[in-house]
Structure 1
Amino acid sequence: MAKTQAAAVEDPAEEPPSAMWGLDPVFSAFARLFVRDILHMTESTQVPGIYFYNSHPIYKVDVLGTVVYKREREDFFCYGVDDGTGVINCLCWKNDRLKEEEDPNKSEGKHSDAAQGAFSPVIELKKLKQAQQKLCCLEIGELLRVRGPVKTSRQQREIMASAYYKVNDPVMTAQIAWMMEVPQLYRLCYDKPLLHSATSVTALTPISKAKDIIQTFFKQRSVSVFRPYDVQDLLQPLISCQTQTTSVDEEPVAGPSVCQQLRQLLRETLEILHKEGIIYRKVKSQDEVYQVTAQDKDLLITVKDIIREDSKREKYAEKGCHILHILSAVRQRFSLNVNRAALERVLKSLECNSDIISTSGDHYTMF
């Protein structure tokens, strides 16, 4: 596994201020970094437990690798995971059900009817626990995927797993997909430094400023549904500033009125927000009603139900549901107007909360 670019050594003096960390999408995601880079990341001097790769604040990661050593304790497994660039210690807590001791006399004496072919919920539950234990109890040489925050314990970098499971990959499909995807993430995101200078803020266009104003309004008010006239007045200062800067030392020129400019700016901003999946219209009608994707719980529940149900089907059991299949199902069940960008935002939110996982490429499944 080749590394695209060496990890940048962070200078504490150049560490971005903590107020800017939330502007970086990597901060709220499970970063798929190579183990070598996780081991060499610099810890923040402002907030312990936050690390930096190339100015990107990171505190939780996603790793796929081979188990090279194993230690078991009463409450957790300790796996050494090797992804080809290095080995990192992963602390994987046991499920409470795995720690329960089973009484063999209890299971043999009370459920003799299962031997005669009758359905026994207790026996089926026992089989389910055994299947779950096989996915959580790995041996040396098996493939493990683990997600969780990065910690430093006794001067050793390790991952405190919030989710982990054994990956059955006999023909190395998952590993090949991983090795193709991670270098691309480095090129497109991780190796590009976070821009937090004041010059980048002043260079924003009116549409960019309008986007920021509307999105800030969504977050502050927890808006889930709105109409254009609900946010139109918020953009009034942008038009006023623009007319003042263009009218100084210039003769008035005939053109669109302030009201027309405001409506045009709002229209263009809503189009961009729609293309990026931030908003969408569930039903297209004369009454323009928009849904905010991040606040639409009905859409989130629908996507979860689709993945949960279809992942049980034989066709999607191994690899998971493709994003185009999920999009088609959402349009049939929920709304024809949901675009791929909006669905990707919902999937990313579900994945960040560990409700779903991406198996390979654009495929998603549930635990």
Structure 2
Amino acid sequence: MAAAAAAAAAANLGEDQFLSEELPSVLWGLDPVFSAFPRLYVRDIQDMPESIQVPGIYFYNSHPVYRVDVLGKVVYKREREDFFCYGVDDGTGVINCLCWKNELLKGGEDPHTRDPKPGFCPRSRPCVMEKLRRAQHNRCRLEIGELLRVRGLVKTSRDKQREILASSYYKVNDPVMSVQIAWMMEVPELYRQCYDKPLNSTSTALNKAKGIILDFCEEKSVNRFRPYDLQNILQPLVSSQLQTTAADQQPVAGPSACQQLCQLLKEALDTLEKEGFIYRKVKSQDQVYNVTTQDKDLLIAVKCIIREDSAKDKYAVKGCHILHILSAVRQRYSLNVSRAALERLLSFLECSSDIISTGENRYTVF
């Protein structure tokens, strides 16, 4: 009895821990894995815990998953009137795949063994349907040992086993194993670059903050601003309530809502500055940021530099190199203009037909 109680307590603890780590459902759409068919190993599909919030949603390393893409060998098969049931082995495990039959496959008769009807004309419409039926039969009716690719929803069967309810499936012809080799090279890279990296809600908030700031500057035609001008528009991203414990509802140690807002704003501005969307013409205690493509003085300065120097023999043929333009801008306008900001500005001017590109990182005027 004591052992059973301990096991139950451990199970409850594991469930509570997973619930505390599970991403809120309102944020699932921010994860690109949620909108895709992730190519997960069968072993991981079988081991994924199910969501406490929404049944039918599973989690791999905090990524919400409800549909997958699997490639493997057929190791067993069952056929019913309306569907095929294939066991697919990808080398890490075997999963049951429920594959519904197309209307052309229903009836159970093999089109290759069917006798043609008397008076059958090869140019008639039934001939076309017969070809479609045969093609569908060859692609969807597999034998043990053949290669199958399945895309579909992940479900938990009545006996608590994971299975895939296929939305699309087909036999893969791979005589030289080129498809399997490509798959074995791509999937580990997807794990390294995406699946094994947990979704960072902080970076998600940062991306949303960057988008809000850029939209604000574009809609209001803002050419310069101070950080406190943006605090109100970022306020919805930060919860105004302090973190509380579930036990006694007492505040716990941590940054206040105001501190979180200031930190988010600082990180968003730093990132936008590194990416060249904004820059500071003069660095002082009075933090004033200029919007790169809205700064008319900077636009005029860059166009004048390119126009004047393109007339010189040295730059008449190939145009002015970006490093030359950057050096001239820093001498004549501001030392704080970064290369990222200049690249963004040159792209803006080129789209506006104010300058043209004569080669890699070289520009001139019409």
TM beyond 0.5:
yes
2:153–2:165 Cα contact (<8 Å) kept = yes
1:213–1:235 Cα contact (<8 Å) kept = no
Secondary structure class of the residue paired with 1:174 = helix
The AA in structure 1 aligned to 2:209 is K
Change (3 A) 1:59 1:213: farther
Change (3 A) 1:237 1:139: farther
Change (3 A) 1:128 1:55: same
Secondary structure class of the residue paired with 2:191 = helix
The AA in structure 1 aligned to 2:227 is C
Report the equivalent of 1:92.
99
Where do 1:27-106 residues align within 5 Å?
27-100=34-107
What is the distance in 2 between the residues matched to 1:71 and 1:18?
Answer: 37
1:232–1:262 Cα contact (<8 Å) kept = no
Which of 173, 187, 195 matches 2:200?
Answer: 195
The AA in structure 2 aligned to 1:82 is D
Report the equivalent of 1:241.
227
Secondary structure class of the residue paired with 1:96 = coil
Change (3 A) 1:34 1:123: same
Q: What is the count of residue pairs matched by the alignment? A: 244
Identity %: 56
Unaligned runs of 5+ in 1: 1-8, 218-229, 288-367
Report the equivalent of 1:109.
118
What is the distance in 2 between the residues matched to 1:255 and 1:196?
Answer: 31
Report the equivalent of 2:168.
163
By how many angstroms is 1:62 displaced?
0.3
2:128 is the alignment partner of 1:124: yes
Q: State the TM-score, normalized to the length of structure 1.
A: 0.56
Task: Identify the structure with bigger relative contact order (alpha carbons < 8 Å, sequence gap 6+).
Answer: 1
2:155 is the alignment partner of 1:151: yes
The AA in structure 2 aligned to 1:193 is P
1:145–1:167 Cα contact (<8 Å) kept = yes
What is the distance in 2 between the residues matched to 1:192 and 1:252?
Answer: 37
Where do 1:306-345 residues align within 5 Å?
none
Which of 218, 234, 241 matches 1:232?
Answer: 218
1:62–1:146 Cα contact (<8 Å) kept = yes
Unaligned runs of 5+ in 2: 1-14, 231-261, 267-281, 300-339, 355-366
How well do the aligned residues superpose, as a CA RMSD in angstroms? 4.3
2:224–2:288 Cα contact (<8 Å) kept = no
What is the distance in 2 between the residues matched to 1:130 and 1:169?
Answer: 20
Report the equivalent of 1:224.
none
Change (3 A) 1:263 1:164: same
By how many angstroms is 1:209 displaced?
3.1
What is the distance in 2 between the residues matched to 1:233 and 1:175?
Answer: 50
Report the equivalent of 1:326.
none
What is the distance in 2 between the residues matched to 1:189 and 1:132?
Answer: 35
What is the distance in 2 between the residues matched to 1:261 and 1:243?
Answer: 17
2:73–2:148 Cα contact (<8 Å) kept = yes
1:213–1:234 Cα contact (<8 Å) kept = no
Secondary structure class of the residue paired with 1:97 = coil
Which of 294, 303, 310 matches 1:263?
Answer: 294
What is the distance in 2 between the residues matched to 1:152 and 1:105?
Answer: 38
Q: State the TM-score, normalized to the length of structure 2.
A: 0.56
Secondary structure class of the residue paired with 2:218 = helix
The AA in structure 2 aligned to 1:191 is D
2:209 is the alignment partner of 1:209: yes
The AA in structure 1 aligned to 2:200 is L
1:54–1:193 Cα contact (<8 Å) kept = yes
2:222–2:291 Cα contact (<8 Å) kept = no
Report the equivalent of 1:3.
none
Deviations 1:136-178 (A, max 9, x none): 0001000000001101011110000001000001111111110
What is the distance in 1 between the residues matched to 2:224 and 2:148?
Answer: 52
What is the distance in 2 between the residues matched to 1:231 and 1:136?
Answer: 54
Secondary structure class of the residue paired with 2:85 = strand
Secondary structure class of the residue paired with 1:98 = coil
1:24–1:194 Cα contact (<8 Å) kept = yes
